[in-house]
Amino acid sequence: MSHAQQLTSRIRSIEPVGEYFHIVFEAPTIAEFVEPGHFVAVAVGGVGSGMLLRRAFSIHNATAGDSIEVIVAAHGQGTQWLTAVSAGTEVDIIAPLGKPFLLPTRPVGCVLVAGGYGAAPMGLLARELRDRGCEVEVILGAATQSRLFGVLELTRDADNVTVTTDDGTSGLRGRVTDALPDALARINGQAVYACGPMPMLKAVAEVSKAHGAFSQCAVEESMACGIGVCMTCVLPVVGDDGVTRMVRSCVEGPCFRGDRVRWDDVNTVPVDAFGAPVQGGH
């Protein structure tokens, strides 16, 4: 289990970045425990808020003894509140949460693939991998240029960055997976790390497998608690014993082996899953 701490954090800054917001939380006792792929759960709405549930964000950066940073897309009521408060506002946060990305023990070629704000954890990951002697290729994709995140930062932190957009407003026109085989080939890639929407993760996992690379995918599932007690964020994952279980993405993920997630069966309970209804459902 991670060293999760619940604390009142002061927001140091909130800055717009393209279509997203970059938020810095003061978290001196948390930052040193953060590994790439960990997330933070943030209470929204202030004291007595009608929004009871925390919002979960992948940790973008952590500075030991000081702060953690996240990238927020203000898509809903909670994130709109969080991105509209003033610097200095105090919020309750819990971090670090979840299982981080598994890192290679030897220096191997790694390709990091992200869609939109799924690039948030990739800078931290790229720096960690390069510290381990890994060559790092990054592929950043989005529907359009304004939804890209992290291109400049990753150009600094990785050996090479490829950009794709669906509409061709930046980089190659197409999907991240169109660029993945070449990136793997350039560095003899053995490991692929991905964060982004589910259909992208599924495609990345499939392309990685077809090219003999090990993949790690950080999923984004709707969560109520983030700490493993509510059982809302489950998805079907095959275990080491070959049995599919409905596992919690908050504590058993959010980083999963791409070849173990049953992507086509997300949002269902497969009939062969552990404890699945025998007939007629339950």
Partner 1 sequence: MSVDLSTSLGSLHLKSPTATASGCAAAGRELAQFGDVATLGAVVTKSIMLKPRSGRPTPRMAETPSGMLNSIGLQGPGIDSFLDKDLSWLTSNNVTTIVSIAGNNVAEFGQLARILRDVPGIGGLEVNISCPNVESRGQVFACNPVSASEVIDTVRAEWTSTAPILAKLSPDVTDIVEIAGSVINAGADGVSMINTLLGMVIDVDAMKPMLGGRTGGLSGPAIRPVAVRAVYQVHAAFPEVPILGMGGIRTGHDALEFIAAGASAVSIGTVVFGDPGAPWRIATELGNELEQRGYSSLREVVGLAHKN
Residues that bind partner 1 (CB under 8 A): 1, 4, 6, 43, 50-54, 92, 94, 221-225, 227-235, 245-246, 251, 266-269, 273-277, 280-282
| For partner 1, the closer CB: 190 or 249 | 249
Q: Does 100 sit behind a cis peptide bond, omega within 30 degrees of 0 on the bond before it?
A: no
| For partner 1, the closer CB: 83 or 232 | 232
What's the closest the beta carbon of residue 139 comes to partner 1, in angstroms? 28
| For partner 1, the closer CB: 17 or 224 | 224
What's the closest the beta carbon of residue 123 comes to partner 1, in angstroms? 27
Cα separation, 230 vs 40, whole angstroms = 17
What's the closest the beta carbon of residue 232 comes to partner 1, in angstroms? 4
Cα separation, 171 vs 140, whole angstroms = 9
Nearest 5°: phi and psi at 117?
Answer: -75, 0
Cα separation, 218 vs 38, whole angstroms = 10
Burial of 15 (0-12, 13-18, 19+ CB in 10 A): exposed
Whole-angstrom CA distances from 211 to 26, 44, 56, 182, 260 are 42, 42, 32, 11, 16
Query: Are 36 and 131 in contact, with CB atoms under 8 Å apart?
Result: no
What's the closest the beta carbon of residue 144 comes to partner 1, in angstroms? 21
| For partner 1, the closer CB: 28 or 270 | 270
Cα separation, 95 vs 98, whole angstroms = 9
| For partner 1, the closer CB: 73 or 151 | 73
What's the closest the beta carbon of residue 119 comes to partner 1, in angstroms? 25
| For partner 1, the closer CB: 56 or 180 | 56
Residue with tokens 């359009």: 144
What's the closest the beta carbon of residue 125 comes to partner 1, in angstroms? 25
Cα separation, 55 vs 8, whole angstroms = 15
| For partner 1, the closer CB: 151 or 246 | 246
What's the closest the beta carbon of residue 93 comes to partner 1, in angstroms? 12
Instruction: State the alpha helices, DSSP H only, in the chain.
Output: 77-84, 122-131, 151-157, 176-187, 198-210
